[in-house]
Amino acid sequence: MGLNLEGKKAVVAEVSAEVANAQVIVVAEYRGLEVGQITALRAKARESGVYLRVLKNTLAKRAIAGTHFDGLSDQLVGPLIYGMSADPVAPAKVLQEFSKTSDKLIIKGGVMPNYVMDAAGIKALATMPSREELLAKLLGTMQAPIAKFVQTLNEVPSKFVRALAAVRDAKEAA
């Protein structure tokens, strides 16, 4: 059953709100997927904070019209599932991982603000570490010199204590 005009406006408004907060939109063709597979994909997306939606392409075009994602309009052909998130890597990872288990999900492409990507670009994006992982690596790199400096400062009193212990042991043995 199709949506009436009010229903379509509500869908476009909901998707537009998600698009406004998104850093990336990834589209994939889902033709041939079973309901159970789509349900599993949605559960995985929900865990990762990805908004996943099957939309009519005309409604998607209306939702992204006038945004930084306008370049995606050329890729909107066929039955597509849309993944979007504020994390630029999460939708690509979720859809890429799922496409490894199901050959019926075909990643078509995606878009970051003012940058349209093909399927190869999305696969490359999926291999990137997440923002949290990058921040953890940066923090570790920034902390390493300080930790080494503290260890070096701590070594001087430690050496002195070990020398005193050696002198004590030598006196006790004599």
Q: What is the pLDDT of residue 16?
A: 85
Condensed to tens digits (0 to 9), the pLDDT of residues 106-151 reads 898 888 888 888 888 888 888 888 778 888 888 888 888 888 888 8
Which pLDDT value is given to residue 48?
A: 87
> Are 67 and 12 within 8 A, CB to CB?
no
Helix ranges (DSSP H) in 22-130: 35-48, 57-64, 90-101, 119-127
What per-residue confidence (pLDDT) applies to 76? 84
pLDDT, tens digit, 9 for 90 and up, residues 68-87: 888 888 878 888 899 998 88
Q: Please tell me the predicted confidence (pLDDT) of residue 2.
A: 66
Nearest to 71 by CA among 129, 117, 6: 117
Predicted TM-score of the model (pTM): 0.72
What is the predicted pLDDT for the residue at 20? 85
Domain residue spans of the chain: 5-128, 129-174
Helix, strand or coil for residue 114? coil
Residue with tokens 């690596």: 137
pLDDT band at 154 (very low <50, low <70, confident <90, very high): confident
Cα distance between residue 27 and residue 50, in whole Å? 12
CATH T-level assignment (fold) for domain 5-128: Alpha-Beta Plaits (3.30.70)
Give the separation between CA 5 and CA 37, rounded to whole angstroms. 30
pLDDT at 3 over 80: no
* The pLDDT value given to residue 77: 86
- Euclidean distance between the first and final Cα of the chain, in Å? 98
Q: Are 28 and 108 in contact (CB under 8 A)?
A: yes
